[in-house]
Chains A and B, each alone.
Chain A
């Protein structure tokens, strides 16, 4: 349920609503908004009687939220959520571009990639230090050494760092180094991890599971928000279908559908979404045209020598070509890069 206050409600009246929610054994969640003050109620089983809250002074109305996801839904918060990642805004008018190698491999590699993507116009550096690889025999990432290299690249270039956290155990360390913590597709429903993310003071990029419906994905985001961290962005990265010509099927339908269901920013990963280097720019253009708030793209100084995902990584030259194409589309839909 969502309790909406009158525009002129006093702080004491808001506190009284919070108190009423707690006294009923439920959880209050302040929903920030420019237009109105509202308090989300979670923890109730079954519908609540609006009269429980509408009888309190300063309350305009109490609304049942029809979706199973509450705090992330547009019913509860109409305005777009804009995340501030150290000065880089995600979900605002400006399109955000995150780029870098699949894995951090060496100091030279990550610095070279960082300089190149910065020069081409990216504002965030991606790179995995902990890698969820399908095979246990493949390169698993440089762990903390990789995080240190990302921090070094940030220091030199000013790019914000986004990197993946794979488990509860290493989360505090990853969060120490990262500006934004990425949760990979395979961990989308790692509920223990999601709960911990709720206690983190860092923004989260939650990738869609390979076989997750939009509803399951939003429920996963709800876990993070319900546990206290409202700074979540979603990342569409392709789903599993019968098609084998591409690595995944990038579900761009999800972009307008999400933007209508939730106020959270939506990022698209065309690199994983199609998995074929030659076609990454076309899908990046399509994502921006569909209304995505940003892109995350794999770039490697020498894709053919990459320790992971070389077949979908762009060279720095290809990436600057992609940026030129994306700028044109972004300009057409009224979003500067």
Chain B
């Protein structure tokens, strides 16, 4: 259920609503929109009559939320959520570009990539220091040394850093270095991790699980928000289907569907979504045309020598060309690229 306040409701009226929620043994989540303040009521609201809230002074309306996800739904918050990452706004008018290698491999590699993607127009540097690899025998990442290299690249270029956190025990360390914490597809339903992310003061990018339905994905985002962190963005990165010609099937349908169901920003990852280097640009264009708020692209100075995902990483000239193509589409739909 959510309780929407009238535009001119007083703080005392707002507090009275919060108190009543608590008195019923439920949890209030205040949400401040541009137009109005809302209190989302979480817990077993089955026995609560919305009219008990609707009659309180300063309350415009009290409604049940029809979706199983509440705090992330557009029913509760109509306006788009815009996440400010140290001055870079995700979910606003501008399309954000996150680019960088799959894994951080060395100082030279990360600095060379960071300089190049910055020059081409990216505002975020991506790069994994902890890598969830299918095989335990493959490169698992540089760990803290990798995080330090990302911080160095940030210092030099001013790019914001997005990097993956794989488990609760390394979360505090990753959160110290990262500007945005990425939760990988394989961890979309790692609920222990999601709960802990609710208590972190850093924005989170939640990738869609390989076989996560849109509803399950939004419920996973709900975990983070319900546990206290509203700064969540979603990332569509392709789902598992019967098709084997591509690494995954990028579900572009999910972009308009999620944008209508939720107020959270939606990023699209064409690199994992198709998995074939020469087709990444085409599907990045499609993602932006469908309404994505940003793209995340794998770029490596020497893709053929990459320790992971070289077959889908773009070289620097290929990334520059992708940026040109994405700008043309973004311009056509009147969204600047940031």
Please choose the segment from A57-65, A185-193, A219-227, A325-333 that sits at the chain B interface, where 4 or more of its residues have CB less than 8 A away: A325-333
Contact check: which of A213, A214, A238, A242 meets B213 at CB < 8 Å? A242
Main secondary structure of the interface of A (DSSP, over half): helix
Residues of chain B within 8 A of A254, CB atoms compared: 243, 245
Task: Decide: B252 and A286 in contact? CB cutoff 8 A.
Answer: yes
Stretch at the interface among A33-41, A112-120, A275-283, A293-301: A275-283
Residue numbers in B under 8 Å from A232 (CB-CB): none
CB closest chain-A residue, reference B285: A289
Q: Which residues of B contact A253 (CB under 8 A)?
A: 238, 243, 245-246, 249-250, 273-274, 279, 283
Decide if A134 is an interface residue (CB 8 Å cutoff). Answer: no
Interface residues of B in 315-332 (CB under 8 A from A): 328-329, 331-332
Question: When the two chains form the complex, which single residue of B214, B276, B289 contacts A243, counting CB atoms closer than 8 Å?
Answer: B214
Which residues of chain B have C-beta atoms less than 8 A from A211's C-beta?
A: 242
Say whether A249 contacts B286, CB under 8 Å: no
Residues of B within 8 A of A311 (CB): none
Partner of A288, one of B250, B289, B328: B289
Within 8 A of A (CB), among B276-291: 276, 278-279, 282-283, 285-291
B residues neighboring A (CB under 8 Å): 211, 213-215, 238-239, 241-246, 249-257, 260, 273-274, 276, 278-279, 282-283, 285-291, 328-329, 331-333
B245 CB to nearest chain A CB (Å): 4
Q: Contact: B245 with A214, CB < 8 Å?
A: yes
Contact B285 A279 (CB under 8 A): no
Contact B239 A243 (CB under 8 A): yes
Task: Collect the chain B residues with CB atoms within 8 Å of residue A90's CB.
Answer: none
Interface centre among A238, A243, A279 (most CB of B within 10 A): A243
Which chain B positions have C-beta within 8 A of A290?
282-283, 285-286, 289
> Closest approach, in angstroms, between the C-beta of A259 and any C-beta of chain B?
8
Tell me, in angstroms, the Cα distance from A257 to B333 when the chains sit together: 25
Q: How far is the CB of A39 from chain B (nearest CB, A)?
A: 28
Docked complex Cα distance between A138 and B251 (Å): 30
A residues less than 8 Å from B245 (CB atoms): 213-215, 253-254, 257
Contact A256:B239 (CB < 8 A) given known A245-B257, A286-B287: no
The CA of A289 and the CA of B255, in the complex, are separated in Å by 15
Inside 8 A of A125's CB, which chain B residues have their CB? none
The chain A residues found within 8 Å of chain B, CB to CB, are 211, 213-215, 238-239, 241-246, 249-257, 260, 273-274, 276, 278-279, 282-283, 285-291, 328-329, 331-333
Query: Please, which residues of chain B bring their CB within 8 A of the CB of A279?
Result: 253, 256-257, 260
Q: Provide the residues of chain A in CB contact with B244, threshold 8 Å.
A: 213
Inter-chain contact B290/A239, CB cutoff 8 Å = no
CB pair A241 B249 closer than 8 Å: yes
B188 CB to nearest A CB, Å: 14
Given A250-B252, A256-B283, A273-B253: A332 in contact with B329 (beta carbons within 8 A) = yes
Report whether A257 and B276 are in contact in the complex, using a CB–CB cutoff of 8 Å. yes
Known: A239-B241, A286-B255, A286-B289. 16 other contacts (CB 8 A): A215-B245, A241-B249, A246-B253, A246-B257, A249-B253, A252-B250, A252-B286, A253-B245, A253-B274, A253-B283, A256-B282, A279-B253, A279-B260, A283-B290, A286-B290, A290-B289
